[in-house]
Amino acid sequence: MKNKKKNINTTKDISQDVWTIHIPPIPAKLVSTAKERNIYLCTENMNADKYIGMKIKLQQAEDYLEEAESMKQYCIDLIQKIKYTFDLTTAKIQDLADDLLCWQNDFKEKEYKTTSVARILNYAANLQDYCNRIVYSLRGQIELQNVHSKKFSIQKLLKDTISSLKEMAEDREISLSYNVQDNINDIVIGDSFLLQTILSQLISGAIRVNKSCKVDVIVMLFVAPYRKENEKDKILRFIVRDNGKGISQDKLQEINAKFSDLNSALEYPEILNSSLGFANYIVNKLSGKLEIKSKANKCTAIICDIPVQLFN
């Protein structure tokens, strides 16, 4: 039997190599693990034991950071779940009360019936107020946090948000759909947690105040009008529109007046109780803007623009 020659691929030992890369606006150096160890061991008052201890603490810090990010997302999801559950419950109670009012002629004891409806509506209002107090307390913890920008997928953020709201939409007999701009740069840099919170609030608000209609979400990415120094500056636009009951012009002016004064939102927390109010608060936190267009008994469109940056 002939001896088969084994092909052994030899590689150069690059444990001492250093690679220099440039990530605007700063240069950075990549070093191998062995090279990193040698650098630290050459530092004054540093030995192998201290180096290992430092690496362990660094890994622990990274683990704590990852855990904190996970807990933050859990809190956001919990807040949304609490809000959706209460909103659905109060909406059903209000629908029931409306049905009872429509059936008024079927009741002989009209006075008793009217009193019962009033009690139902009162219970619904109390339940909603209780929900708002809980949610506002939890939201306060998020509002105190700084903006944390990192890369994320626009389409994944959108799909995850839509998926979390499907059950709520189905319960209200609402068709929920979305459309993403063709050839969109999917990976951008921004605070994905706050962006998802904004989108969730806008969509859930449209679902909660309507019934048996369509809610469409449109996502676009375009050049920032102020772009000068950085070519990567972009505007991420969310448009949430529905063909529901709409908003009267008087009510629309009232809403816009409240949103234009951020100090009033801080002074009167009840403004933040609404999905729209809280979304607008975070939009301003991210240096964005929110615009509402509506026609009574026809449609409503909420346009939200948030600055982001391209990843590459």
| 22-73 confidence digits (pLDDT tens) | 555 555 555 565 655 566 556 656 666 776 777 788 888 877 777 777 776 6
Domain locations along the chain: 18-65, 148-312
pTM comes to 0.61
DSSP-assigned letter for residue 213:
S
3-class state of residue 147 by DSSP: coil
Which of these, 312, 306, 309, 310, lies nearest to 219 by C-alpha position?
306
Q: Which residues, listed in sequence order, are joined to residue 222 by a DSSP beta bridge? A: 235
- Percentage of residues in the chain having pLDDT higher than 70: 62
Statement: residue 228 has pLDDT above 60:
no
Closest alpha carbon to 98 in 119, 132, 121: 121
Residue 177, strand partner residues: 216
Q: Tell which residue, 80, 99, 77, has the closest CA to residue 88.
A: 80
- Domain 148-312 has what CATH class? alpha beta
Q: Which residues pair with 219 in a beta bridge?
A: 180, 238
Backbone angles phi, psi at 241, to 5 degrees: -130, 150
Cα–Cα distance list, 173 to 95, 99, 208 (Å): 13, 17, 11
Question: pLDDT at position 12, please?
Answer: 41
For position 270, what pLDDT does the model report? 45
